[in-house]
Amino acid sequence: MLRLGRREFAEHEQVIMAIVNRTPDSFYDQGATFRDEPALARVEQAVAEGAAIIDIGGVKAGPGEEVSAQEEARRTVGFVAEVRRRFPDVVISVDTWRHEVGEAVCEAGADLLNDAWGGVDPRLAEVAARYGAGLVCTHAGGAQPRTRPHRVAYEDVMADILRVTLGLAERAVELGVRRDGILIDPGHDFGKNTRHSLEATRRLGEMVHGVPRALGFAGAGDTPFPVLVSLSNKDFVGETLDRPVKERVLGTLATTAVSSWLGARVYRVHEVAETRQVLDMVSSIAGHRPPAVARRGLA
């Protein structure tokens, strides 16, 4: 069971997390939702198209102008409060690595802290525990926030992903974060080159179905933590197909379908409606969802 905010998600329910960037320089939309009005319109559209989680970010992932914790909070806290007021049942996630921002957004009504930088601030998990919020535990290969990978190498990238994400998750449980509110994320592109991200996708089932007890993690071999994937229009898609940012949707959706078949539960995306169709189709093929209509051959 996955429980976030007021929502409980069933075992085979695949969940869309819609991206809402409160930044003037995001890599994909170039600041389209930096101002409040278009950002709130984006939330309304995403919810209408099937997003259960809204992921709000105040700092772009890549290098750029420095953004202080105070500025990050200014971009996100008031917006979280307004989204909570307008959409009381939606799950609100905030993409931050800073415990100060995590505390402020939880006070404003956030349900989930999306730590995309792999626990670089260990106090963020403490904030999640204190507020009863969920936590995303991500593999970033030891990279510092807002840096790009450089000559990164792994003896076994999935083994490292498992070691880091499960270690972060078990530490969070020990601190008091609810086990049913924790997700693990292989961190596509973060601390990885394109081949690493492709391998992480290909071997996603190793995250979904648990790991041998021999690896030494508490809970190993038992029910694993749900897997979140953040694939949307990323560089590994662009390099694989040699496509610029605005031409990566088809590659993203193909990767989404593979991840869905392998058992990922939560999908952080820009294109909500398209992703919903892909997930529903894969779920129906897998036998977890009936067709929306069934007329062919029955009349």
Question: Using 50, 70 and 90 to split pLDDT, how confident is the model at 135?
Answer: very high
Q: Where are the domains of the chain?
A: 14-285
What is the predicted pLDDT for the residue at 217?
53
Instruction: Provide the 10 A C-beta neighbour count for residue 151.
Output: 5
Write the pLDDT tens digit of every residue in 233-242: 999 999 999 9
pLDDT at residue 221 greater than cutoff 70: no
Maximal C-alpha separation, the chain: 64
Average pLDDT over residues 164-175: 96
For residue 41, what is the enclosing H or E element?
A: helix 36-48
- Residue 114 pLDDT greater than 70, yes or no: yes
| DSSP summary character for residue 179 | G
Identity of the residue numbered 163: R
Q: Residue 110 and residue 81: Cα distance in Å, rounded?
A: 8
Least confident of 24-38, 105-119, 252-266, 278-292: 24-38
Q: Give the whole-angstrom CA distance, residue 175 versus residue 263.
A: 27
Other C-beta atoms closer than 10 Å to the C-beta of 183 total: 26
CA-nearest of 101, 7, 97, 120 to 53 is 7
Nearest residue to 166 (alpha-carbon basis) of 207, 122, 116, 209: 207
SS3 of residue 160 by DSSP: helix
Query: Which is nearest to 244 in space by CA: 28, 20, 21, 14?
Result: 28
Q: Does the structure show a pLDDT above 90 at 211?
A: no
Average pLDDT over residues 117-132: 98
Residue 212 is predicted with a pLDDT of: 55
> For residue 29, what pLDDT band results from cuts at 50, 70 and 90?
confident
- Distances from the Cα of 21 to the Cαs of 51, 206, 226, in angstroms? 15, 31, 24
Does residue 219 have a pLDDT over 80? no
Output the pLDDT for position 223: 54
| Radius of gyration (C-alpha) of the chain in whole angstroms | 18
What is the pLDDT averaged over residues 184-197? 98
| Mean pLDDT (the chain, rounded) | 94
For the cut 90, the answer to whether the pLDDT of residue 26 exceeds it is no
Contact 232, 116 (CB under 8 A): no
CATH class of 14-285: alpha beta
How far is residue 76's CA from residue 21's CA, in Å, rounded to a whole number? 9
At 45, is the pLDDT very low, low, confident or very high (cuts 50, 70, 90)? Answer: very high
Please tell me whether residue 227 adopts helix, strand or coil conformation.
strand
Question: Span 207-225, mean pLDDT?
Answer: 64
pLDDT at 210: 73
Q: What is the rounded end-to-end Cα distance, in angstroms, of the chain? A: 39
The yes-or-no verdict on residue 84 having pLDDT over 70 is yes
d(Cα 263, Cα 227) in Å, to the nearest integer? 8
Lowest mean pLDDT among 37-46, 114-123, 213-222: 213-222
Residue pLDDT, tens place only, 140-157: 999 999 999 999 999 999
Contact assessment for residue 32 and residue 38, using Cβ atoms and an 8 Å cutoff: yes
SS3 96: coil
Question: Do the beta carbons of residue 172 and residue 129 sit within 8 Å?
Answer: yes
What are 8's strand-pairing partners? Answer: 3
CA 281 to mean position of chain CA atoms: 21
- Phi/psi of residue 278, nearest 5 degrees: -60, -50
Average pLDDT over residues 114-123: 97
Task: State the sign of the Cα–Cα–Cα–Cα dihedral 220, 144, 124, 25.
Answer: negative
Inform me whether the pLDDT recorded for 220 exceeds 70: no
Percent of the chain scored above 70 by pLDDT? 96
pLDDT above 60: residue 214 = no
The predicted model gives 16-25 an average pLDDT of: 94
